[in-house]
Amino acid sequence: MEKIQKSHVQVGGLKLHVAQIGTGPKGLWTLHHPPEPEKANFNDPVDDIVALLDSLAIDKAFLLGKNFGAIPAFMVAIIHPERVLGIITLGMPFRLPGPLGLQFNLLPKGFYVLRWAEPGRAEADFGRFDAKTIIRNIYILFSGIELPIAGDDEEIMDLVDSSTPLPPWFTEEDLDVYATLYQNSGFRTALQVSYRCWQWDYGVTNPKVMAPSLLIMGEKDYFMKFPEMEDYMRKGIVKQFMPNLDTTFMKEGSHFVQEQFPEQVNELIITFLNKKI
């Protein structure tokens, strides 16, 4: 296997960390903390993706996104379709931010999305713990099959028993790496872009992705229990917006299916790419 080369690229005043194999960029890029996270929104990663492709002289690319990271991929495919060869998403079927994308009024009271969309609430909740404990709690909570819903006298972090072990596929070493990243960046950008700008109007008038697409879902992903979500995927309603979509359900997969079953997920992705390249 060719050696992975890592570099940094300046895009839009931010430093992007790029992993590259051979002569073509592959896999991951990570975004260093923006200077004003409270002003961040989904347009920012869209602009960053396009600027990154430009800086690397790449005309078109396959985009892969996990959970809320799928949203910028969908938006690039709609706003800049000429730059997209295909879309691969994990744990997130087609959804766009905006008042009609995820209707907050349909979500149960105390649901984590509503709690974390409320300015200051997650900060107060998280402020009781260090970054390592927060990440531990998130992995334990979100690897389950039930929707994370807090009672009137609870916060989301209170839903996790401190004696509960990590999922068997997530090691203490993994936890240390993630905790270090969030110790450096904090959680403000993640809360802002994922939850607090979701209801903004992004001006998308034709919400349709025509590029070849692959959705990988774990059947034990709590996201399957979002209101009307399972029918949306299983009955093919999602194909109204992504007509060239293939969907694979992994029977034992959780919300973190790519970490739980990396070899199987990699094989699904490689097979899809080989068919489309």
Return the CATH number at 52. Answer: 3.40.50.1820
Domain boundary among 175, 197, 219: 197
Q: How far is the C-alpha of 173 from the C-alpha of 157, rounded, in Å?
A: 22
**Which of 168, 197, 226 is the last residue in one of the domains?**
197
Q: Say yes or no: 65 and 29 in one domain.
A: yes
Has residue 105 got a pLDDT over 50? yes
- Do residues 187 and 232 both lie within one domain? no
Number of domains in the chain: 2
Looking at the structure, do residues 132 and 250 belong to the same domain, yes or no? no
- Same-domain check for residues 207 and 97: yes
Q: Which letter, b or e, does each residue of 38-73 get, where b requires 16 or more Cβ atoms within 10 Å of its Cβ? A: eebebbbbbbbbbbbbeebeeeebbbbbbbbbbbbb
CB neighbour list of residue 227: distance below 8 Å, 6 or more residues apart: 106, 107
Average pLDDT over every residue of 153-178: 96
Mean pLDDT within 143-172:
96
Taking the CB of residue 194, how many other CB atoms lie within 10 A of it?
Answer: 20
**Same domain, residue pair 86 and 140:** no
Q: Is residue 110 helix, strand or coil?
A: coil
CA atoms within 13 A of residue 228's CA, in its CB half-sphere: 10
- Choice among 32-36, 42-46, 65-69 with the minimum mean pLDDT: 32-36
Shared-domain flag, residues 173 and 211: no
Domain boundary (147, 168, 197) is at 197
pLDDT of residue 18: 63
pLDDT average, residue stretch 154-164:
97
Q: Which residues pair with 75 in a beta bridge?
A: none
What digits encode the pLDDT tens for the residues 176-187? Answer: 999 999 988 889
Domain residue limits at 141: 103-197
Q: Name 232's Cβ contacts closer than 8 Å, sequence gap at least 6.
A: 93, 238
